[in-house]
Each structure stands twice: as C-alpha cells, then as structure tokens.
Copies of this chain bind each other. A is one copy, B any other.
C-alpha cells in the first residue's frame, strides 16, 4: 500500500532524467495514467486528458489536499487546475485531469514532458479505448 516509498527512495538513484506527476506539491503520484490526446480541426490547439485509476492521492490515509495536477520535469512545471474525481458508490476511485494546449508551443512543451514520462513509465501510443 505504501507505494510512495518507491518514489522517495528510488533504487535507481543515478537516473539523470525524471518526469513526475503530483496532485499536491511535493507528493509524487505513483499511479500511471492513460492520456488521451485530441486536437482542434486547425491543429493549433488541443487537449490532453489524463485518467488515473485509484491513484495514491485518493487513498484514505492521504491527508494532502489535491490542489491541481503538476507535470514536473527538468524544464519546470506544467500546471492544470482542471482536476475532477470520479466516484463509484460515493467513493472516489479515479481522477480525470485536463490540460489544454492553446498553441503549437504549448503542444511541444507538453510532448517534451510526455517523452520523458512515457519512456520512464512504459507508456506507448495506442488507439484510445474510449473513443475520441
């Protein structure tokens, strides 16, 4: 259950590149999301929607408030405030967070984050299950 130890005391401590996601500042989220990408017709703006199943941040023991979704890498931080919980039988079981990109530069910044995050967490590109 105490999965976060994996993050705080990493075995591979000599890795140079790190990309991580937080919902509360300073607390790394170990759950790895699916990320759906959509783009406007003209290709200039777009949306990345993150789906986390049973993330650490929703654990009952967790006392840290969810203040946003922070995508953190060596370049800095991308912040999204559009974070919603998904409930089943009154219990929060998932988090859906949205990052809106308004320009090609936003897209490129986001993809630089995802490049690191995807490679570190075994994510690849596949057809979105949930339609698009």
Contact = CB atoms under 8 A, between A and B. Distances in A.
Contacts of A119: 37-39, 43, 46
Given A43-B15, A43-B17, A35 B108 contact: no
Interface string A118-132: 111111111111011
A103 to B, nearest CB: 12
B124 A36 contact: yes
Contact of A123 (B15, B120, B122, B125): B125
Binding site secondary structure of chain A: mixed
A119 B48 CA distance: 10
B108 A34 contact: no
Interface stretch (A77-85, A87-95, A109-117): A109-117
Contact of A115 (B17, B108, B128): B108
A41 interface: yes
A123 B126 contact: yes
B39 A120 contact: yes
A89 B107 CA distance: 43
Given A123-B126, A124-B128, 6 more contacts: A12-B41, A16-B42, A37-B124, A38-B119, A43-B119, A122-B132
